[in-house]
Amino acid sequence: MKRSQTISGDIMIGVQMDLISEDKLSRMTAMEKIRLILDGVKEGKILVLERGLTPSEEAKLIEMTMTEITPDDFAGIEIESYPSKQNQKLLDKLFKKPLIRTRLTVIGPANQLKTLKKDRDLISALVSSQY
Amino acid sequence: MGLIKKVKKNFSSLWKGIFKKKVARIGIYGPPNAGKTTLANRIIRDWTGDAMGAVSEIPHETRRARRREGVTIESNGSKVTLDIVDTPGLATKIDFHDFMAHGMEEEEAKRRAKEATEGIIEAVKWLEDLDGVILVMDATEDPFTQVNVTVIGNMEARNLPLLIAANKIDLPESSPARIRSAFPQHPLVPISALDGQNIDTLYEEIADHFG
Ligand SMILES: Nc1nc2c(ncn2[C@@H]2O[C@H](COP(=O)(O)OP(=O)(O)OP(=O)(O)O)[C@@H](O)[C@H]2O)c(=O)[nH]1
Ligand SMILES: [Mg+2]
């Protein structure tokens, strides 16, 4: 829970949500993205990535999350994304490294973001303000 | 061993080395409690007579990856030899309170949580050293989880074979069909690792896909 001043000058209490553009993400290295995610989540933010992480970045994120879990402060992350899409053309599959198209991803603190339902095209989540 | 025989043998293993990997290293992956160790135990018991590791209804029972070398599986005339790696259940969060809810003291719960985080790191690192994965899912649960998506994505990115074991079909609320519709691009075998239901079909698929 956070007390913040909005652009219009109001003081509001709530959960901060950062929506990060594909452009910004495409200029970042894997570690920069992971740092941005973990720092944000530890501050209690919900992050929405316009284009998510590649499978190998997701694996690294899980690893880094594990190294940062501490019993009383940080229990890890909740992350939900749509399965990435691959190059489906057979020739591309045979001769090139598969091109992976990552998709929208939502990440938050494990104790504040709960997935209600998820399928191929819809992610439904509950955000709680208690910290 | 005569020289000719020796040369022949070396030549044939060289031949195999170039054209066909002799032993495929297969990781058993999935979320905590899906039944990975129960399945590993069954495979290893069926084909070698030994056992692999401890099973528990408390999540994160396996906290170190374990490898069993040279398990030969024969099915429908094809024969494969595998190294089988049972891995700790993958998760993006670990809360020691969950272990206390299973009746553990705080200290023990915190230790288990710490070991579980290390186990997950180990499991992720193992992904880079595999030739294929059996992804075990609890068919009574929602299949569309980040853990499943991440494992599948990593295998697809490396163009490596993946076989889904939709486990716990002995339970009435299980739905392998839900898993199939979530990940239609990969072969799936509904099984019960506990009572052995349909396990022969799994062996056929293993011989097919990892041979
Ligand atoms: N009903 C039923 N229960 C099963 C089946 N397979 C495993 N279980 C039970 O599920 C629980 C977890 O099994 P494990 O084999 O320890 O699961 P795991 O995936 O190795 O779990 P971690 O090591 O904690 O990641 C145990 O209570 C098993 O008896 C099955 O096919 N049917
Ligand atoms: Mg286990």
pLDDT of residue A117: 79
Nearest to B149 among A63, A81, A117 (CB): A81
pTM: 0.89
Q: pLDDT 10s digit of each residue in chain B, 211 long?
A: 455 555 555 555 555 444 455 789 999 999 999 999 999 999 999 999 888 889 999 999 999 999 999 999 998 888 899 999 999 999 999 999 999 999 999 999 999 999 999 999 999 999 999 999 999 999 999 998 999 999 999 999 999 999 999 999 999 999 999 999 999 999 999 999 999 999 999 999 999 888 7
Contacts with B91 from chain A: Cβ below 8 Å? 76
Q: What is the DSSP letter of A74?
A: B
- The yes or no reply on domain B25-210 and CATH 3.40.50.300 is yes
Whether A71 sits inside 8 A of B96 (CB atoms) is yes
pLDDT of residue B64: 96
pLDDT of residue B9: 54
Ligand 1 center to B36 CA (angstroms): 7
Whether B87 lines ligand 1, by a CB cut-off of 6 Å, is: no
Question: What is the number of other CB atoms lying within 10 angstroms of the CB of residue B32?
Answer: 21
Ligand 1 center to B179 CA (angstroms): 18
Question: What is the number of other CB atoms lying within 10 angstroms of the CB of residue A72?
Answer: 7
Q: Which residue has the higher pLDDT, A103 or B15?
A: A103
Complex-level ipTM: 0.87
